[in-house]
Structure 1
Amino acid sequence: MQKIGVLTSGGDAPGMNAAIRAVVRKAIYHGLDVVGVKRGYSGLINGEIEAMDLGSVADIIHRGGTVLYTARCEEFKTPEGRQKALGMIRKHGITGLVVIGGDGSFRGAEKLTQMGVPTIGIPGTIDNDIPCTDYTIGFDTAVNTVIEAIDKIRDTATSHERTYVIEVMGRNAGDIAMIAGVAGGAESILIPEAPYNIQQTVEKLKRGAARGKRHSIILVAEGIGKGMEIGEQIQEMTGWETRVTVLGHIQRGGSPTAFDRTLASRMGAFAVELLLQGEGKKMVGINGNAIQAHDIETALATPRAFNSEIYDLAGILSI
């Protein structure tokens, strides 16, 4: 292992810069050269590769987004596209690669390892939808962004005695909605992993109103449906004024939390250690409080675990 490349791919997530920083500095600490690949697999194909040094990653640990930029690349999914990428890897003398991203990025890492380039995946996505790790980089920051929004919206909901529906991101996973809903005291949490009945949600709202509750917060994960449509249903069934807020991409931005900065730093450093050990086709995960390696192929084939205990607790606390 002489020269390590690092790239970010797919959706950006707070903490990616901290992971890049850790990869670069850990590699340099061990005497390796490091290059940054801009714009993900697209940049790898097009040769957007630049040398990185200690100064390249100075003052980025606190910044959201990714200094290497990111993009989705359909061309890399083709054998021809991957051959172009391999040609650039050989041209620049890259002997190992670290890929920071989600499941699509991991599939690319798996392909590169099969082509002879040891590649390690670091889970960077706010959705927290990667198996074999308790947390992904960016999830904690996104949840805190949602909680801050809930707290502010609740002030208005209380003042106007309204029901508010808040739609959050997460793709097909409900972790952001579930954790933010518990921490933010939402009355109902609608997520893809658990069946829901809009009639039961409305009945719960009516029970709250009967005991004097003047406002309600309902959290909707985007994977369950559109918050606007659910809000309209609730208003039609109750006759109450209902407002809908779609938080959208503000959940991806912002300065990463201390948890995400630390997690990203640990994962980035561990990814370099794996390459130094001759490993490839592995992903880095945190299990308990231990940073561990898992086979990417196994991870991608493993069903994502759903914490029903937390979801059930949310229902109990919001009676």
Structure 2
Amino acid sequence: MKRIAVLTSGGDAPLMNAALRAVVRKAIYNGLDVYGIMYGYAGLLKKEIKKMELGSVGDIIHRGGTKLYTARCQEFLQPEVRAKAVEILKEYAIEGLIVIGGDGSYRGALELTKLGMPGIGIPATIDNDVLGTEFSIGFDTALNTVIEAIDKIRDTAMSHERTYVIEVMGRDCGDIAQWAGVAGGAETVLVPEKPIDINATIERIKRGHERGKKHSIIIVSEGVGNAVEIGRQIKDICGYDTRVTILGHVQRGGSPTATDRVLASRFGSRAVELLCEGKFGHTVGIIKNEIVDMEFENALKMKKLSNSSLAELCDELAI
């Protein structure tokens, strides 16, 4: 293999740049030519492809977002569009493709591999919902952003004796909420993996008030439902002064943590090695602090394990 390409696809994550840097530099170190594809699969179809040099990825390891930009591409669901993408890659003499993204990006890479274009996946999403790995790059950075926000909100919650409902991202995965709940000392965490009991939440808040605690922090994962409605129910039933904060896309940005930078570098390096070893159609991941790889099809069949014990721990510590 002499020439490979790399793209970032789907929702951005703070560590895409760090992973991109590792891919480009490891490829050049191994004597490969590497090309960057702008705007994900959408840019591939428009032939927005450029050669990457060492300087192309200089001074980006500390920056959030992605230098290659990213986009979603519904057209890629069509078989004829994927066939066209393979032809474009062959036109540029590209022999392997590394895709940095989430579940949807993996599926695209799997289909290209089936069509004869070897693909490797690097898990990059703040939601931490990619299969085949315990952690995806971007999760730790997003988590620290959430914790910083919770700490600041707690100051005003205490000053005004208010209950705050804070909605965090995660789609159908409650990892951000659960980890942030424990690390941020929240009174309650509401996640999609666990049945919602608003009455139990309200009782916990009331018990706190009875022992003199006049402020509370409730963390709600976006996959649960409407945080504004949850806040309204708490206010209507308890009568407590309640506010709702939706953190939104602020969670996707910012300078990445050291943990994420190291993980992204390890993932990017291993992805290049897999192509060089001829292990096509694989995704990289980390399990028990060891870098692993597995076939796309096996990873996509796995069930995401919910660490609901963290939500339970949050409840226990907020007694």
Could you say which residue in structure 1 is the equivalent of 2:68? Answer: 68
Distance 2:33 2:132 in 1: 30
Distance 2:70 2:165 in 1: 31
Q: Name the aligned partner's letter for residue 211 of structure 1.
A: R
Could you say which residue in structure 1 is the equivalent of 2:103? Answer: 103
Could you say which residue in structure 1 is the equivalent of 2:117? Answer: 117
Q: Name the aligned partner's letter for residue 94 of structure 1.
A: I
Q: Name the aligned partner's letter for residue 188 of structure 1.
A: T
Could you say which residue in structure 1 is the equivalent of 2:167? Answer: 167
Could you say which residue in structure 2 is the equivalent of 1:34? Answer: 34
Distance 1:12 1:130 in 2: 14
Contact kept in structure 1, 2:23 and 2:271, CA below 8 Å: yes
Percent identical = 63
- Pairwise CA distance, 1:160: 0.1
Q: Name the aligned partner's letter for residue 137 of structure 1.
A: I
Distance 2:67 2:146 in 1: 24
Distance 2:177 2:294 in 1: 27
Distance 1:84 1:255 in 2: 36
The equivalences for 1:199-210 within 5 A come to 199-210=199-210
Contact kept in structure 2, 1:132 and 1:294, CA below 8 Å: yes
Could you say which residue in structure 2 is the equivalent of 1:12? Answer: 12
- Pairwise CA distance, 1:310: 2.0
Could you say which residue in structure 1 is the equivalent of 2:186? Answer: 186
Q: Deviations over 1:3-34 (max 9, x none)?
A: 11000000000111000000000000010000
Contact kept in structure 1, 2:103 and 2:131, CA below 8 Å: no
Could you say which residue in structure 2 is the equivalent of 1:286? Answer: 286
Q: Name the aligned partner's letter for residue 14 of structure 1.
A: P
The DSSP-based 3-state class of the residue aligned with 1:223 is coil
Contact kept in structure 2, 1:14 and 1:252, CA below 8 Å: yes
Contact kept in structure 1, 2:63 and 2:256, CA below 8 Å: yes
Contact kept in structure 2, 1:146 and 1:251, CA below 8 Å: yes
- Pairwise CA distance, 1:195: 0.9
- Pairwise CA distance, 1:201: 0.5
The DSSP-based 3-state class of the residue aligned with 1:173 is coil
Q: Name the aligned partner's letter for residue 83 of structure 2.
A: Q
Regions of 4+ moved over 6 Å: none
Give the TM-score normalised by structure 2. 0.99
Distance 1:249 1:280 in 2: 34
- Pairwise CA distance, 1:282: 0.6
Q: How large is the Cα RMSD of the aligned pairs?
A: 0.7
Contact kept in structure 2, 1:15 and 1:65, CA below 8 Å: yes
Contact kept in structure 1, 2:181 and 2:311, CA below 8 Å: no
Could you say which residue in structure 2 is the equivalent of 1:82? Answer: 82
Distance 1:170 1:308 in 2: 14
Distance 1:160 1:311 in 2: 26
Q: Name the aligned partner's letter for residue 230 of structure 2.
A: I
Structure 2: give runs of 5+ residues left out of the alignment: none
Contact kept in structure 1, 2:181 and 2:219, CA below 8 Å: yes
Contact kept in structure 1, 2:190 and 2:219, CA below 8 Å: yes
- Pairwise CA distance, 1:80: 1.7
Distance 2:192 2:243 in 1: 22
